[in-house]
Amino acid sequence: MILSIDTSCDETAVAVVDGRRVLSNVIYSQVLLHKKWGGVVPSIAKRAHEERIDFVIQETLRKFFLSPVSDSFPPVLARSYPSTERRREPFLLDTQKKFQQIDYIAVTQGPGLAPALEIGIKKAKELAEKFNKKIISVNHLEGHIYSPFVQNSKGNPKIDFHFPYLVLTVSGGHTSLVIFEDHLKYKVIGETIDDAAGEALDKAAKLLGLGYPGGPVIERLAKEVDNRDFYNFPRPMVSSDNLNFSFSGLKTSFYYFLKKMNEKEKIKKIRELSSSFQQAVFETLIIKTEKAIKKTGIKNLALVGGVSANFYLRKLFRNLAKKYNGQVLFPSFKYLCGDNAAMIGVAASLKVQKNLFVSDIKNLDRIPRMSL
């Protein structure tokens, strides 16, 4: 039984997992705090994690003990802010007893925002010392890679591992192509040299005045015009032979394109603009993934990260896999696309099997630019 913590960006997330099964899971999203700034503000994220982490741990343990199996899935997203009274509650009143059921503590070490990561690591160390537990440190990207294999409390989906997989991670902070060779064995074969795919969608949405996060709004608007392409924005780096991505040039060309339009035109064409931008990003992802299939011969695909929630991108991925007679995996529940601690716990459970514990807990530190 592992209690896992992820505070890498703007979600305070805690879960209890048993192997691949998630027994309790709470995600306290900060999206409303960052919305008005049009993106995640590290200092605000840090403070919010600090204020909420004890509450989220308590809630996760409470749910775990309330109904260890049936009620614990899907997770409750604790959206309302805990009352001041609640926040002042002495931390973990009866937790001594509850922690007897927990074997290990897992925590995200990186990559992510340094001040945000720090809060989760500090808490993991505090708990490990107080309750005499070992710590497993997990790479956040490793968590995303395991996300299609995360099961609910009843052990569904029952899919097994059939290595190797070609994994495309697409989120607000990352875009990478990785060969998932075997448990805990990864080979990065391509990554973005500037903006991430989700970040590009968020920036385009901001330029269109659509708010943050941009991905879901752009998806909805694009669907209203059948995801068609009207403006043919550039597909960056698709003719180069390597598998790296670059989205900042696309963003710049979109910016100059919009500059030539007045507000009225922009609003009138908001669907066409959203759809064409999305198409440019997604087609780039597909072209590069197809190159990777040809280069590696690996036909079993997985699409993970926040942008993998997009149904249109999923459809494009399904078609790609079909073309090569391969299979494609997605995170089985929507919350597993975005940041969460369940995927961190599942990756940690494989590390437990290989005895990969943190040997020097006192010196465990965040690694904001941690690579796989």
- Residues lying near ligand KG4 in the complex (CB under 6 A) are found at 9, 171-173, 198-199, 201-202, 213-216, 219, 305-307, 309-310, 338-339
214 binds, options Zn ion, ligand KG4, none, Cβ within 5 to 8 A by partner type: ligand KG4
236 binds, options ligand KG4, Zn ion, none, Cβ within 5 to 8 A by partner type: none
Q: How far is the CB of 302 from ligand KG4 (least distance, A)?
A: 14
How many angstroms separate the Cα of 136 from the Cα of each of 15, 263, 320? 14, 52, 36
CB-nearer residue toward ligand KG4: 54 or 199: 199
Tokens of 55: 């509450």
If one asks whether residue 339 binds Zn ion (CB under 5 A), the answer comes out as yes
d(CA 304, CA 339): 11
Stretch that binds Zn ion, among 181-189, 292-300, 312-320, 335-343 (CB under 5 A): 335-343
Report the chain's C-alpha Rg in angstroms: 21
CB-nearer residue toward Zn ion: 68 or 216: 216
> Residue length, the chain?
372
Single-letter amino acid, residue 64: F
CB-nearer residue toward ligand KG4: 9 or 341: 9
CB-nearer residue toward ligand KG4: 178 or 298: 178
Stretch that binds Zn ion, among 151-159, 166-174, 245-253, 262-270 (CB under 5 A): 166-174
Q: How far is the CB of 299 from ligand KG4 (least distance, A)?
A: 25
Residue 11: half-sphere exposure toward Cβ, Cα within 13 Å? 25
Cβ-Cβ contacts under 8 Å for 208 (sequence gap 6 or more): 258, 266, 270, 273, 274
d(CA 196, CA 169): 10
Query: Strands, DSSP E only, in 83-199?
Result: 104-110, 134-139, 165-170, 175-182, 185-191
Q: How far is the CB of 110 from ligand KG4 (least distance, A)?
A: 12
Residue 37: half-sphere exposure toward Cβ, Cα within 13 Å? 12
How crowded is residue 261: how many other Cβ atoms within 10 Å of its Cβ?
13
Q: How far is the CB of 52 from Zn ion (least distance, A)?
A: 18
CB-nearer residue toward ligand KG4: 120 or 213: 213
If one asks whether residue 171 binds Zn ion (CB under 5 A), the answer comes out as yes
CB-nearer residue toward ligand KG4: 82 or 305: 305
Q: How far is the CB of 306 from ligand KG4 (least distance, A)?
A: 2
If one asks whether residue 10 binds Zn ion (CB under 5 A), the answer comes out as no
Q: How far is the CB of 340 from ligand KG4 (least distance, A)?
A: 9
Q: What is the enclosing helix (H) or strand (E) of 14? A: strand 11-18
82 binds, options ligand KG4, Zn ion, none, Cβ within 5 to 8 A by partner type: none
Sheet holding 2-6, edge to edge: 76-77, 21-29, 11-18, 2-6, 104-110, 134-139
Angle at 247 between CA 293 and CA 203, to 5 degrees: 130
372 binds, options ligand KG4, Zn ion, none, Cβ within 5 to 8 A by partner type: none
Tokens of 65: 């003990």
| Positions in the binding site for Zn ion (CB under 5 A) | 171, 339
